[in-house]
Structure 1
Amino acid sequence: MGTFWVLEVMPIAVTSLIPIFLFPLLGIMPSRDVCFNYAEDTIMLFLGSLIVAVAVEKWNLHRRIALRALTLVGPEPRWLLLGIMFPCWFLSMWMSNTATTAMMMPILNAILKQIKRVTVLDITEGNDPGEDDNEIEVTIEVDGIPMEEKPLRNNAHKQDEKSQRNRADEEREFTELAKIFALSTAYAANAGGIATLTGTPPNIILKGHVDKFYRRYNLDPGLTFANWLIFGLPLSVVLFIVTWLWLQFWYLRKRFVCRAQDTRSYDTVKTHLKIEYASLGSMTFAEGVVAVCFVLLAVLWITRDPQFIHGWGVLFPKGFVKDSTPAILISVIMFILPAYPPSWLRCSKKDNDPFTQGGFTPLLTWKTVNDEMAWGIVLLMGGGFALADGCSKSGLSDWISTKLEVLGTLSPWVVALVLALVVAAATNIASNSATATLFLPIVADLAVRLQINPTYLMIPVAVSASFAYLLPVGTPPNAIVFASGYIQIKDMVKIGIVLNVLAVLILVLMSCTLAVAAYGLDSFPLAFLGHTNTTLNGSTIAPIISLNNSHITYYITQR
């Protein structure tokens, strides 16, 4: 399945269905147990968040947010870059990265079109913004005969050469600017998805694997939407700032420090964006209702179990309410709420008002959700959970983790760094979902064998699956910006390689500090001892607690 996912021999969603018939036929798992993986609580959480995202897209709330952010920034390239990145970053916390990037590209095309019209095209037409509009005509006479013809030809020739040089310079600058603006949308979307548990599939896959792995030993996984923000949001903010600074440096370079910019073209862009935003009109009733539902869902997620105080989840029996509960609740409500205000809320009744005609239009219809829903990702997650379950019950995960025990000679943070680098490289040639699905179950078993808290290694592995900075095939946002024609693969590699390395280093640093403090990852759960207290080649492994280390060590005694 891993090979099929990476090479896309079949559609990824179709490959994800293989365990349903293959595992029962091979005697690995009964069909009922395999199918249960396709309806996990984690999958319902992701499904609910996708439905809410469909409502946001349907009523163009995301476009309003993006244009509003762009109108608030300054006209200089660095601030315009920030204005492009911020809405992508924020929206991808709640929507799919693909939808966010696809929404932003038409706006970006309009921005670049305005910049090119004012700079490159003006110079092509002879309106060099660097030239003085006030010309002085001088005539020289010798013996009463005017002698300006030849000098004027030379002057015209020089002016033409200068204009060509200026045009070439402006075209190069525009090309570089277009590359940076295009890449910034994909990179910001990838960084934003890390912030929330539902922001990107690898995060949800991480939660699913952590839940299954810990519950196998009757442990509370402790990973919720609320406490993920403690780690994910600061990491996302740092990656966002680093990406913004690096893209500035790549484009501006000398201009970053010592060259004043002609902001005439960017002022025009600013005016164009304000016109675009004004064309949206005032916020519609549907947009307002979707925004309220959107905020309400986020509040319910955060306050269910904030840990530092009792959340609303304590009102119900323990384990009854999970993050999927409010996600599906808000999703169902969106099929009930009206898209247009009832007549008793309207100041005037129009002929085309659905309510005055006895009709009713909900915020969402099933046809809309069915057409826009990313069903393939839902099946991929289910197939990944089924594959992990099969690997565990067949003993394959144990066998692979045994072969990787050589990493036990390294410090835990070095192991995390090595695994993160491997996954960050792999995710550039395979989808982030497939990469996380393949690596997480193996890493969980490896962590137990190395006596390291499994979550300590699983977090950097899952998050690094979102670090697809190098190739278009790494993630759909990369493919979208590549298809725009503004960038080539060599541009992505040159700009992205530095970001890839920086992102991994930042991730491992924050995993070893912030994540350890937030989730108590400096201790090894004692319940895992029942798993490791087995017999290997006639040797019994017995546990000892080392006071000098943050994890539990073992010694081997011969029978």
Structure 2
Amino acid sequence: MKFSHSLQFNAVPDWIDHYVAYDQLKKLIFQIEKEKVEAFNNSTDPEKTSSNISQGKDKFLSQLDLQLEKVFDFYSQKETELYNSLDSLDHLLSACMPDQNLHHDTIQYPNFNTPLTNLDSTVNLPVHSINEVVVTKENRRKMSFESRMSTQTHDTHHHEYVGQLVDLRSQLISLYVSLSELDSYVELNRMAFEKILKKHDKVLDGDLKSQYLKKMVLDSRPFMPQTVEALRAQIERVERIYADAFCNGHVSLAIRQMKTHLRDQITYDRNTVWKDMVNQERKTLDAHVKEKDAPVMKKIPFTSFKIRADLFNDLIAFLFSITVFIILLNVDCFGDRQENYCFALLIFAACMWATEAIPLYATSLMIPFLIVPLGILRNADGTQMAAKAASKAVFQSMFSGTIMMLLGGFSLAAALSKYGIAKAFASHVLSRAGTRPRWVLLAIMSVATFLCMWISNVATPVLCFSLINPILRTLPDDSPVGPCLLLGIALASCIGGMASPISSPQNIITIQYMNPDPGWGIWFGVALPISIISVVCCWGALLLVYKPDKHVPHLNKIKPTRDKITGAQVFVMVVTILTIALWCAESTIEEHIGDTGIIAAIPLFVFFGTKILGKDDLNAFLWSVVVLAQGGMSLGNAVTSSGLLEDIALKIKDGVQDLAPIAILAIFCFLILVFSTFVSHTVAALIIVPIVQQVGQNLPIPHPNLLVMGAGLACSAGMGLPVSGYPNMSAVMMEDPTGKPYLKTKDFLVVGIPISIIVTLLIFTLGYGIMAGVGY
């Protein structure tokens, strides 16, 4: 929880205006930061810039002094008020028990209706019965509060006395709660000053905390050790008074009873504040969001019913896919029942994935259910496989070393993110990039590409967006630098999706169809040069289109994280490096480990076994991606087993066999580029890569691995639209402080499409040369 929320959540609601205005001070810091950057960009006089910085510091100090004075005044007022109340209550309780006068037939009850300053007045009342229990000062401690309340008497004044005693008990508990809240008030404000000074020093590169906190805050009366000790002594005094009066002298019992009331009060306050915080958060968010229009309704043809437009579109897509599926089941396209049914299933899955009539992973879960009843799988002799054997084959195809490697990659990503290693690395790199926009852009794009090699391209853009927030909040209004940086991160993350075998699901699917497995060494040898050149070209295109140096000469500098390296971080790095090293050496140790999936088990059992990762981290894995990949693998197995894949590949081979391998690769790369621009990169790999593999295998000179790897890399090249991959979708959702989106579809079209084409050209030129060089 952010400290601003924690402060509001733990504050006493009635005192909320008397706490340190933490959010106001934080906004002032960011405003000073923005003015500092603007002054640096607009002024050529260093002395004037220094003067502006000094004025900002003075403004902050002035506001800090006002907050300190506010806390001092309120504390002094409440301290006097509560201490006086405690003295009065103590005096009153010392006289609240009646005395037995041995020389008169009377009991003297204190007059509780008199003011607290006049406690000597008593009323003489006759004793009506010898059976009445007379309470004396001597036996006051020997009787519990409940016993005194239950004393049987017909004396109306005694009943008044008991009722007033209950009121005094309530006042004492209320005083205990107030003193405890005052103690919490002091601690929360001390933390607020400490946090805001730390924020000031971090954002503005100052050294104010050590000076102001020691000389001003801790020397102010509310925060002095002797003041805090005196306050806690008064709380202990209340506990003793309560124990003597109502708990037979047992202090521990008194504390337990009063803390029960304190907890109840805190629970009530927090529930109230929590509701207020939620409402306020909603108002804040709604301030930047347009009012949602009523959902568009569409009438179902030939009926009087209406449904939401989005649901109607999904229903139409689903019915279209079902219709195509039924038609193809009854059309003889290949002269073989298994191939016809498999082709119908392939087209049906492609339509469902492309239209997203239902979630992608739900379609994947439907595929195994259809494969077995349709009787698509064949035995080695060409006969139809029995249902039991077919179901076993389907489930075997859904879990393999490739899926295990995907899970191993998820565990590495989770550990690197959870322990701040990825963020620490990124912030240190960016802190050395300087303030020129062109170098900051290149640095953040390089960081995004590198991080995508190890953590998902879903998490990487979000991390990078948060890292450049200090830059975004100090930019002038409508500056093109913000869109330039965000688009650079998104496109670099897409490019980073091809850089390592675990950087994206499409790479995992690609490796599944390569025999032998290329290993990390060959993959790096092919993918890294393409990625590096692509990032440089993308950087140049962004500089050409947005001209960031012209609009903002200098950006706010990113500060590196100053947290100390922990043992857990060292452990995570050792396991990560060991796992990657073994993956790179997989070809040399294949006879001992058998498959890369076995190596992927290392981070899984080490991280979860040592509790570096927990159950929540396991639940946070992208299981939808795993299920999507498994569905694709089961479909790939069905297409292969039925003979459909070979039949399609032979027909395509007849049209391309006279072409050079580089021309065949170019055709498939551009086909996948178009497909992955409009549809998910992973879906493009699921549908097209198996066909490419069979075409390459049936060429006069087989080149299956060359075509498959090239096609797999091309899946990451589609980045010309906001819907082209997770990074683009994350970037297009980013908004400035006024709620205006930084990026529009035009930005992706202008930069994304040319870069997509350049990346594709690099794959079937430079990539082809490297793959041919390694024997593919």
Name the CA distance, whole Å, in 2 between partners of 1:497 and 1:302: 33
- Indicate the residue corresponding to 1:87 in structure 2: 447
Query: Please, which moves more after superposition, 328-337 or 478-487?
Result: 328-337
Can you give the 5+ residue segments of structure 2 that lack an aligned partner in the other structure? 1-348, 378-389, 735-740
Instruction: Compute the TM-score of the two structures, normalised by the length of structure 2.
Output: 0.51
Q: Is the 8 A contact 1:19 1:34 kept in 2?
A: no
Query: Alignment partner of 1:115: what SS?
Result: coil
Deviations 1:453-502 (A, max 9, x none): 11121122111110122112210111000111211111101111110111
Pick one of 96, 100, 111 that aligns with 2:471: 111
1:381-420 to structure 2, matched below 5 A, reads 381-404=629-652, 405-420=654-669
**Of 421, 436, 439, which residue of structure 2 is paired with 1:61?**
421
- Matching of residues 33-432 of structure 1 within 5 Å: 33-116=393-476, 120=477, 171=478, 174=479, 176-211=480-515, 221-252=516-547, 263=553, 265-266=554-555, 269-270=556-557, 273-274=558-559, 277-278=560-561, 280-305=562-587, 311=588, 313=589, 318=591, 320-337=593-610, 362-370=611-619, 372-404=620-652, 405-432=654-681
Q: Match for 1:17: what amino acid?
A: L
**Amino acid in structure 1 at the alignment position of 2:637:** D
Secondary structure of the structure 2 residue equivalent to 1:97: coil
**Counterpart contact for 2:495–2:531, Cα < 8 Å:** yes
Pick the structure with greater CA Rg.
2
Q: Which runs of 4+ in 1 moved over 6 A?
A: none
1:478 aligned to 2:773? Answer: no
| Structure 1: runs of 5 or more not aligned | 121-170, 212-220, 306-310, 338-361, 522-559
Indicate the residue corresponding to 1:458 in structure 2. Answer: 708
Higher relative contact order, structure no. (Cα contacts within 8 Å, ≥ 6 residues apart): 1
User: How far 1:238 moved relative to its partner?
Assistant: 1.7
Question: Partners in 1 of 2:751 and 2:518 — Cα distance?
Answer: 34
Identity of aligned residues (%): 26
Letter in 2 for 1:375: W
**Aligned residue identity for 2:437:** P
Amino acid at match of 1:83: A
Please name the residue that 1:438 is paired with. 687
Measure the CA separation in 1 of the matches of 2:501 and 2:695.
24
**Deviation of residue 262 (structure 1)?**
5.8
Deviation at 1:319, TM superposition (A): 6.4
The RMSD of aligned alpha carbons is 1.8
Q: Which residue in the other structure is 1:167 paired with?
A: none
1:522-533 mapped onto 2 (5 Å cutoff): none
Q: Which moved more, 1:189-198 or 1:488-497?
A: 189-198
Deviation at 1:107, TM superposition (A): 2.1
Q: Separation in 1 of the partners of 2:481 and 2:714?
A: 27
Number of positions where the alignment pairs a residue of Structure 1 with one of Structure 2? 408
1:440 CA drift (Å): 1.0
Whole-angstrom CA distance in 2 between matches of 1:474 and 1:498? 14
TM-score normalized by the length of structure 1? 0.70
Q: CA deviation at 1:109?
A: 3.1
- Which whole-Å CA distance do the structure 2 matches of 1:470 and 1:436 have between them? 17
Aligned to 1:343: none
Q: Does 1:496 align with 2:746?
A: no
Cα deviations by residue, 1:64-93 (Å, 9 ceiling, x for unpaired): 111111101121111010121121111100
- Structure 1 residue aligned with 2:29: none
Query: In structure 2, how many angstroms separate the alpha carbons of the residues matched to 1:82 and 1:88?
Result: 10
Give the C-alpha shift of residue 419 in structure 1.
0.9
Counterpart residue number, 1:9: 357
Query: Residue 210 of structure 1 aligns to a residue in which SS?
Result: coil
CA shift in 2, pair 1:320/1:64, >3 Å: closer
Partner SS state of residue 464, structure 2? helix
